[in-house]
Amino acid sequence: MRILHVSESLDPAHGGTPAVPKALASAQAGLGHDVTILTRDEPGRADAIRESMASIPHADKVRIIGVPRGGRLDMWVNRSARAWALQHAHEFDFAHLHSMWSPIPHGAARGLSAGGVPYTLCPHGMLDEWSMARSRSKKMLHLALVSRRTMRRCAFIHALSEHEAECVRSFGFGPPVEIIGNGVQPAEYESIPDPGEFRSAHPVLGDGPYVVFLGRLHPGKGLDLLTSAFGWVAGRFPDARLVLIGPDAGAREDVERVAGEAGLSDRVVLPGPVYGREKLAALAGAVCYALPSEHEGFSVAICEALACGTPVLISPECHFAEVERAGAGVVVERRADAIAGALASMLEDPDRAAAMGRRGRGLVFERYTWPGVAARCVELYQRYAPPAEAGQPEGR
């Protein structure tokens, strides 16, 4: 198939959402499809974007097209994306749009619809109650004026989880909802690096156990809560460390304050962003990966940890109950005492934790790999795409 992905950004600095079209498009190219990504021109970020795609199999087969950000008139619908999509509509059989509130996907949707190209849109967790509560009036206005029209014209709507599917259905957009999660690149996890590589790079860890977080240090990730919970159990495990990996997105100051108040500044390690094999070594060497987040659409980091054979400790708001059903980790309420109890259980019984990690690795390789996700998406594109001779482009 000739597939177009549309994403506002591919910059890794913008969180997890840009990683999805890069990985999904590359996996579909690896299956033999002709794949293009339409995104925003991002001067000064080309090297970072290129580096973020360097290790993705088949990324070199994906064509990337950039359009200008636009001015104030493009605040909700990017005119350049609309014009490009309409001009090139004949080159595509199906399009996959990413994100609810960004101008470029909605601009492309207008052009694709006018050009007779069917499309799907993935909200990436942006329609649940937690997300809608933030700037609610602006989002409701966007729904009324822009995004509801885009959603109604979807061939189907792509939800990442059953929870997201329920959120989508509650808005009554009309098109059917299909559930497909995100994934990992299996080749990247077939040979996990020695965890000693990460310890060598960070001698402060010593030989003791550590709990790891990987992602943006954002207030919504619950890192102050995790740090408080670690303080509750730190006295029982004097060699343990809490390692919070990722760029600061507003939470580092609170973490450092909580750690300082608990007298744990030397045991809460903040190494900044870590990539490639060092990232895998960090995950593989941890007793568990912890994410007591306020909200997740679908956390790729959870899958990454499980693929490394590391059990996970997550909140219900991560919407990944399958972890507990598979015996690959624990789901605990966002309370310091509950998180502390789960941390203590992992630290007290590392053999049990390791067994959970092995089950988690099996779960990911069975259900959450990008080649599998890519094939499932293509299957749905083909199911929902009208026959070529039946499609009649709409007027401008």
Q: How many domains does the chain have?
A: 2
* Same domain assignment for residues 279 and 198: yes
Instruction: Give 52's pLDDT tier (boundaries 50, 70, 90).
Output: confident
What is the structure's pLDDT at 285? 96
Give 307-340 pLDDT, tens digit per residue: 999 999 999 999 998 999 999 999 999 999 999 9
- Range of the structural domain that residue 22 is part of: 2-183+370-384
What is the structure's pLDDT at 16? 73
Q: Residue 169 carries which side chain, given as an amino acid letter?
A: R
Residue 393 lies in a domain: no
Give the mean pLDDT of 35-39: 97
Question: Rounded to two decimals, what is the model's pTM?
Answer: 0.85
* Same domain assignment for residues 135 and 232: no
Residue 377 lies in a domain: yes
Handedness of CA 359, 57, 279, 220 (dihedral sign): negative
Instruction: Give 94's pLDDT tier (boundaries 50, 70, 90).
Output: very high
What is the structure's pLDDT at 43? 87
Give the mean pLDDT of 233-257: 96
How many beta carbons lie within 10 A of that of residue 155, not counting itself? 20
Query: 284, 286, 292: which is closest to 269 by C-alpha?
Result: 286
* Same domain assignment for residues 110 and 174: yes
Give 361-395 pLDDT, tens digit per residue: 999 999 999 999 999 999 999 999 976 644 444 43
What is the structure's pLDDT at 391? 42
* Same domain assignment for residues 332 and 321: yes
* Same domain assignment for residues 149 and 263: no
Query: DSSP for 322-373?
Result: HHHHTTSEEE--S-HHHHHHHHHHHHH-HHHHHHHHHHHHHHHHHH-BHHHH
CA–CA dist 358, 317 (Å, integer): 24
* Same domain assignment for residues 157 and 196: no
What is the structure's pLDDT at 233? 96
CA atoms lying within 13 Å on the CB side of residue 86: 15
Instruction: Give 27's pLDDT tier (boundaries 50, 70, 90).
Output: very high
* Same domain assignment for residues 89 and 204: no
CATH code (residue 98): 3.40.50.2000
For the chain, the average pLDDT equals 93
Q: What is the DSSP letter of 70?
A: -
Instruction: Enumerate helices (H) and strands (E) in the chain, giving the number of each.
Output: 18, 13
